[in-house]
Structure 1
């Protein structure tokens, strides 16, 4: 065989392998609803940034939370506008930053005060917009717009601020790490079991890709990871890990379904396309946001936080 023939054979083999990989990835993407390669790559990058901010300087983590909250609020406000609801993007971001800042500087009390202050900012901002000629909209939309903005503030900024409350405590970074680790285990467990074994649809009208087999896989993964982080990261009994696993399984699954319902009602597929393979930032926060409240509640019952 000549050198040219050998090169042609190698090239043909590589093309065949690439075609097989693309076909396999297309099947997985069709079944799971995301590009596996981009999802893993972007997940690793954001995971590295998250770990660096969490364990090097806590203030950097809080700044990261503020940035992500701001982006997620812009995504949600933009999605509301697709549905004809004018949520002021600048106003809702300012309100969200007030909530996060309140949680960082004055803890739980400051977070609540920040929520009221942020709600006032959104309301006043929307009222001022309504008085400006170029932004004038029918009066009947005003109340709907304000309440959509308040929902955005609570759903994104308020829930995300529970991670700030956690990280502020002694060894709080380990609680935040455990929160994210269990949430990721729920996502991975559901993904793996759903792709390989999924047959029975869980909520076909809300999230067609979710299956009961995937939920079972998520339950096993969350319990296992919960026990591991409870013993080795949180210095807690093994049963605390089971409790954390069950709590996060329910909150993460509920959060995922809630965001799917929001997107379906607003008529959008993804909140944005800023994260390859994942959609928008809010598409990745949907499970973490309610789970932060659940983990904080467990920590509160155990006396870890006050």
Structure 2
């Protein structure tokens, strides 16, 4: 009689052997899959870096760094506007002071004498008066700040007694007053708007429209741009880019007007169109100033962007327009 016990297997033994046999094959498949995934990631990264280099050569900007910095600053500004307004006020104060410093240095590099200390004092007074004082007192503070800057420059010039020509002194005084108007005064209009009912949402709206317009112009100009818009002022701007900005700004204004500000769609479209106009004017205006000064950027404090004013050129003039539109359209807000 044959003993079948020699052929008997321990329960689970065949499954274990099958697993051991399948183990090396499964591990090989996993290694292959991981290698293919790493190759895909490396290929995608190489393509992205190549595209970024092409954009950098064409625009002179580091796209990745610019996006990261822009998103970071935007997030801080947005959260402070929604939750803690005084944080936004002091954030704006810091940005304005930096803008005054870099603008003053840029003007000084073109043989204009700008006194930094009174400019900073004037910037603080003008911005904070817009944030905390009545509107008529804000105007008083503005004229007092302008007088302070002018008198300081004249006294400093008389003390120097270096024979500087009258025309040059006049140019110095005008440049100093322009700094006060361009940076702290225009920024203070956003502070006045912030004090209004739902003013923070209007600030978010007009900044968002300006950013969307700038981004749409950049994307459409980079993709389709062929016809220069103002070659003597800003060679990189094209009519195709401006067309993209029109579409983006009007669409953003309409949507934000309806869903965030509670105004009719046509009022939102007007908001988008007006902010597009002020943003474009501010952008081209600063390009003219930089061309006159013989510089590409106001500074290099924001990698991928240039200087503080290079990012505020479209926002500063738009604040005044947004305040005017608030007074015009706020009665239309749905109750």
Do they superpose with TM above 0.5? yes
Pick the aligned partner of 1:240 from 267, 274, 282.
267
Pick the aligned partner of 1:51 from 71, 78, 81.
78
**Deviation at 1:92?**
1.0
Counterpart contact for 1:163–1:292, Cα < 8 Å? yes
Counterpart contact for 1:33–1:209, Cα < 8 Å? no
What's the counterpart of residue 185 of structure 1? 212
**Deviation at 1:14?**
7.4
Counterpart contact for 2:252–2:272, Cα < 8 Å? yes
* TM-score, reference length from structure 2: 0.83
Q: Deviations over 1:114-138 (max 9, x none)?
A: 21011112112212322445x9572
Mapped partners of 2:241, 2:119: distance in 1: 35
Counterpart contact for 1:85–1:144, Cα < 8 Å? yes
Pick the aligned partner of 2:234 from 207, 215, 228.
207
Pick the aligned partner of 2:164 from 120, 133, 138.
138
Give the alignment of 1:83-232 within 5 angstroms. 83-133=110-160, 138-140=164-166, 141-232=168-259
* TM-score, reference length from structure 1: 0.91
Q: Deviations over 1:36-87 (max 9, x none)?
A: 1111000011011101221122222111111111110111100001110011
Higher radius of gyration, 1 or 2:
2
Counterpart contact for 1:201–1:212, Cα < 8 Å? yes
Pick the aligned partner of 1:269 from 296, 305, 319.
296
Report the number of matched residues: 299
**Deviation at 1:17?**
5.7
Pick the aligned partner of 2:53 from 19, 23, 26.
26
Structure 2, unmatched stretches of 5+, are 1-27, 29-33
What's the counterpart of residue 319 of structure 2? 292
What's the counterpart of residue 4 of structure 1? none
Mapped partners of 1:225, 1:17: distance in 2: 31
Counterpart contact for 2:267–2:329, Cα < 8 Å? no
Mapped partners of 1:193, 1:182: distance in 2: 16
Give the stretch that moved more between structures: 56-65 or 281-290: 56-65
Mapped partners of 2:249, 2:41: distance in 1: 39
Structure 1, unmatched stretches of 5+, are 2-6
Counterpart contact for 2:297–2:306, Cα < 8 Å? yes
